[in-house]
């Protein structure tokens, strides 16, 4: 077990359901979301590890995740749909992934190693075992990877892109499967880690191929080897740790989002920093997350 790094309270804004931190290396800024308030937050990472909130962008409904293309445009998991937003503020719907009769929303999402957007769903109507994990390419074509999840959550890939990790939160499971980035072929799913306490939420990988996992309900971030061995536990004074991502010019800062949702007034009084943003320098660098590939127009057949 490695030494526990020091955790810094990085930004004072308390999100109801802070999630989905994303480092934009081309603009040297951090994005994260407040899901139920349908906000994308934009911040600047300072050398101290603190983050200065510089802007917010509001949507309607919910925002489960955001990713950035090289040209600065975004893909946003907005309610049931995926929408784009370019730097001029123009938006466009590219795919509806959840049928209108279902009481559900899109949740965590991330580009795969070649920039396709992978995103899952979450039931708003109680327990479910039919939530999806789907992949959308730049033309808006959708392929379903899983359709039997309880609550689709964090996503990550191995450094070489040939292993995909995904979270099924209510089953307290982190899955792994083979992945071919070029063809998009997905291998059989197997359980890598099953939690006895807390619920796995957002995840990311580091340059050594280890998994960093936010543990909702346990107030922890845990690091596991690719074989599923626990090697580091970071404890925060907030119960609901929701997601993690590496940020900074050298990807040496781990950003941790948290939430206030589901906490009682007594719990909030004991944990007043719930919902805020934290950072730490864990002594290892993260993997660069591929940019979203952006939209492309398909040519018509002659």
Number of domains in the chain: 1
The verdict on residue 51 lying in a domain is yes
The predicted structure's pLDDT at residue 170: 98
CATH number at residue 235: 2.120.10.30
The verdict on residue 24 lying in a domain is yes
The verdict on residue 298 lying in a domain is no
The verdict on residue 200 lying in a domain is yes
Long-range CB contacts (< 8 A, 24+ apart) of 120-123? 120/146, 120/149, 120/152, 120/153, 120/155, 120/166, 121/97, 121/149, 121/152, 122/64, 122/151, 122/152, 123/151
The predicted structure's pLDDT at residue 5: 84
The predicted structure's pLDDT at residue 52: 98
User: Rounded to an integer, what distance in angstroms lies between the CA atom of residue 79 and that of residue 119?
Assistant: 12
User: Rounded to an integer, what distance in angstroms lies between the CA atom of residue 179 and that of residue 157?
Assistant: 9
Catalytic site residues? 201
The verdict on residue 297 lying in a domain is no
pLDDT digit of tens for each residue in the chain (302 aa)?
566 789 999 999 999 999 999 999 999 999 999 999 999 999 999 999 999 999 999 999 999 999 999 999 999 999 999 999 998 899 999 999 999 999 999 999 999 999 999 999 999 999 999 999 999 998 899 999 999 999 999 999 999 999 999 999 999 999 999 999 999 999 999 999 999 999 999 999 999 999 999 999 999 999 999 999 999 999 999 999 999 999 999 999 999 999 999 999 999 999 999 999 999 999 999 999 999 999 876 433 33
**C-alpha closest to that of 282 among 247, 242, 257:** 247
The predicted structure's pLDDT at residue 194: 98
The verdict on residue 185 lying in a domain is yes
The verdict on residue 294 lying in a domain is no
**C-alpha closest to that of 50 among 298, 297, 281:** 281
45: containing domain: 7-280
What is the model's pTM?
0.96
């Amino acid at each position: 077990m490695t030494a526990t790094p020091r955790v810094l309270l990085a930004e004072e804004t308390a999100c109801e359901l802070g999630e989905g931190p994303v480092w934009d290396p081309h603009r040297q800024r951090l994005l994260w979301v407040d899901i139920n308030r349908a906000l994308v937050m934009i911040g600047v990472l300072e050398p101290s590890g603190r983050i200065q909130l510089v802007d917010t962008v509001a949507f309607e409904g919910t925002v489960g995740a955001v990713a950035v293309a090289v040209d600065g445009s975004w893909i946003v998991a907005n309610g049931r749909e995926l929408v784009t937003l370019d730097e001029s503020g123009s938006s466009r719907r590219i795919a509806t992934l959840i049928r209108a009769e279902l009481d559900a929303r899109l949740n965590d999402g991330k580009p795969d190693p070649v920039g396709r957007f992978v995103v899952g769903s979450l039931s708003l109507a109680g327990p479910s075992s039919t939530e999806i994990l789907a992949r959308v390419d730049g033309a808006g074509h959708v392929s379903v990877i899983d359709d039997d999840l309880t609550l689709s959550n964090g996503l990550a890939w191995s450094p070489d892109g040939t292993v995909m990790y995904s979270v099924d939160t209510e089953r307290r499971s982190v899955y792994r499967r083979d992945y071919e980035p070029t063809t998009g072929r997905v291998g059989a799913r197997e359980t890598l880690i099953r939690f006895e306490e807390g619920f796995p939420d957002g995840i990311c990988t580091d340059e050594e191929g280890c998994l960093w996992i936010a543990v909702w309900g346990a107030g922890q971030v845990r690091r596991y080897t690719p074989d599923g061995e626990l090697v580091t536990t970071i404890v925060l004074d907030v119960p609901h740790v929701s997601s993690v991502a590496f940020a900074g010019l050298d990807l040496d800062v781990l950003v941790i989002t948290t939430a206030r949702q589901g906490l009682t007034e007594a719990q909030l009084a004991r944990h007043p920093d719930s919902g805020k943003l934290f950072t730490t320098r864990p002594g290892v660098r993260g993997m660069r997350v591929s940019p979203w590939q952006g939209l492309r127009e398909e040519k018509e057949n002659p």
